[in-house]
Amino acid sequence: MCEHEVTRMKDSIPARHNGALSRLWLGLFVVVFAISAAGCGYNEVVERDEDVKAAWAEVQNQYKRRADLVPNLVKVVKGAGQFEQETLQKVVEARSKVGTLKVDSSTIDDPAKLKAFEQAQGELSGSLSRLLVVAERYPEIKATDAYRDLQAQLEGTENRITVARKRFIDDVAEYNKVVARFPTSIGAGVRGMKSRPTFEGTPGLDKAPDVNL
């Protein structure tokens, strides 16, 4: 819609003008074009910005859901007297690291903060995966209703995390296009909006645990 308006304004400029009048028309067109482009870009940047924030909120929500399951999982697994303590300790430490991260609205605008968040979550994913694999060696753990329920909840949460991460990556990509391309870049500049970092998706760091129900 905005591009059509700009084209219409351009076509409305009289074809034959010279000297000062021609320069006046040109200057007027440039001003009107800039204002129109800024307005169009401003609205689209606002929409894409809200999409990214909503996607980020869902990412946080699903990761928090997983973190909340960890204490109960650790408690159930501790019931096996000979369970590998090192495996348990790594899960506890990884969960603690996730909990101490300061995550707020500024995280999605700071590459270092987002990378630290993803790395901490990846470490928790890895430690949980290891714990579930080791737990397969203990029939007394696998036989309990509590453990099977936690397995199912973790599997569901990991799937939701994958979906939430993809949505965030996609929305950031669309947002960055709006910020970079002309003429919406004018609206982005008016708001002081810049390209945002996204998840790197380092292979093996953030994959869902292998849950066998």
Q: What is the pLDDT of residues 31-41, one digit of tens each?
A: 555 555 555 56
Cβ-defined contacts of 106-112 (< 8 Å, 24+): 107/56, 108/52, 108/53, 108/56, 108/172, 108/196, 108/197, 109/194, 109/196, 109/197, 110/197, 111/197
Checking if the pLDDT of 48 tops 60, the result is yes
Segment 18-25 mean pLDDT: 59
For the chain, domains (ranges, CATH) are: 2-191 (1.20.1440.20)
pLDDT at 68 > cutoff 70? yes
Q: What is the mean pLDDT of residues 175-201?
A: 86
Assigned token pair, 109 = 């605008």
Q: What is the pLDDT of residue 25?
A: 57
Torsion of CA 109, 57, 40, 110, to 10 degrees: 0
| Tens digit of each residue's pLDDT (9 = 90 or more) over 134-146 | 998 888 898 899 9
Q: What is the pLDDT of residue 205?
A: 46
Outline where DSSP puts E strands in the chain. Answer: none
| 74 alpha-carbon distance from chain centroid | 28
Mean pLDDT across 75-82: 81
191: tokens are: 């708001």
What is residue 158's predicted lDDT score, i.e. its pLDDT? 94
Work out the mean pLDDT of the chain and round it to a whole number: 82
Percent of the chain at pLDDT above 90? 54
